[in-house]
Amino acid sequence: GENVEQHPSTLSVQEGDSAVIKCTYSDSASNYFPWYKQELGKRPQLIIDIRSNVGEKKDQRIAVTLNKTAKHFSLHITETQPEDSAVYFCAAAFTGGGNKLTFGTGTQLKVEL
Amino acid sequence: NAGVTQTPKFQVLKTGQSMTLQCAQDMNHNSMYWYRQDPGMGLRLIYYSASEGTTDKGEVPNGYNVSRLNKREFSLRLESAAPSQTSVYFCASSDTGGQPQHFGDGTRLSIL
């Protein structure tokens, strides 16, 4: 089955700096890669996703890049703000196989003032 | 529009007790999922239902059963709870074809 590795497990940045979280996946059939943000005690919420026919996607201060050859994808957050502090999860799925997500183990992002 | 609703929000059980976690979605989604979240391990898929009338095992199905009662509802049952099943359980739903999954607020389950 699919295996998703996520790094780093914790990340501390100064407000206004950029943050990058990286994930690798093992199954070359995976073609859907969402990112979720989870605040303490809350539900995971989708922040951005990318499909395998696209190399990069942006939404305001967040962007995701995908390298299918190397089987890795990354989340980029620019101009970080204290409200960006949360746990971020990457995931991968093959949409023809029931859309089952395999999640990474999460990155605790702390944005310091 | 409630999205995905899970009940109960909290529950404490004794080892060996049984319990059913309820999940309902009002987005007319075909697919529904049950995950468990443990510290440092992300979310792991327990069972999923690609469409009404079908269910399949995920990564960690042992000790659990599910029922897709209708298109809206997908329940998770622990027949004989064990301390290793202490976790936060999330239900999610999505359309088919690689659409985003929407999560409920979770059920925090402790088994003593």
CB B91 within 8 A of CB B6: yes
Q: Is B56 on the interface with A (CB under 8 A)?
A: yes
Q: Is B58 on the interface with A (CB under 8 A)?
A: yes
Q: Which residues does chain A have within 8 Å of residue B31's beta carbon, measured at their own beta carbons? A: 98-99
Residue-wise pLDDT tens digits, A50-75: 998 889 999 999 999 999 999 999 99
Residue A98 is nearest to which of B40, B48, B100, comparing CB atoms? B48
CB pair distance less than 8 Å for A44 and B104: no
Q: What is the pLDDT of residue B1?
A: 61
Residue A98 is nearest to which of B44, B56, B105, comparing CB atoms? B56
Within 10 angstroms of residue A65's Cβ, the number of other Cβ atoms is 17
Whether the link from the prior residue into B39 is cis, omega within 30° of 0, is no
Mean pLDDT value of segment B97-111? 89
Tokens of A9: 């497990």
Residue A103 is nearest to which of B42, B97, B102, comparing CB atoms? B42
Residue B2 reports pLDDT greater than 90? no
Helices (H) then strands (E): counts for chain B: 0, 11
Q: Name the residue among B94, A66, A14 with its Cα closest to residue A58.
A: A66
Average pLDDT, rounded, for chain A = 94
CA atoms within 13 A on the CB side of B26: 5
**Cα Rg, chain B, nearest whole Å:** 13
The tens place of each residue's pLDDT in chain A, 113 residues long, gives 899 999 999 999 999 999 999 999 999 999 999 999 999 999 999 999 999 888 999 999 999 999 999 999 999 999 999 999 999 999 999 888 777 899 999 999 999 99
Nearest residue of B to residue A32 by CA position?
B98
Residue-wise pLDDT tens digits, B49-82: 988 889 999 999 999 999 998 999 999 999 999 9
Q: What is the pLDDT of residue B29?
A: 92
B43: distance to nearest CA of chain A, Å? 6
Nearest residue of A to residue B5 by CA position?
A43
CA–CA distance, A87 with B91 (Å, rounded to integer): 19
Q: What is the pLDDT of residue B97?
A: 64
Buried b (16+ CB within 10 A) or exposed e, B28-55: ebbbbbbbbbeeeebbbbbbbbbeeeeb
Q: What is the pLDDT of residue B41?
A: 79
Q: What is the pLDDT of residue A105?
A: 95
CA–CA distance, A6 with A87 (Å, rounded to integer): 12
Compute CA distances A45 → A35, B69, B102, B105, whole Å: 8, 26, 7, 10
Within 8 A by CB and 6+ apart from A6, the residues are A21, A22, A23, A89, A90, A104, A105, A106, A107, B42
Where do runs of H (alpha helix) occur along chain A? none
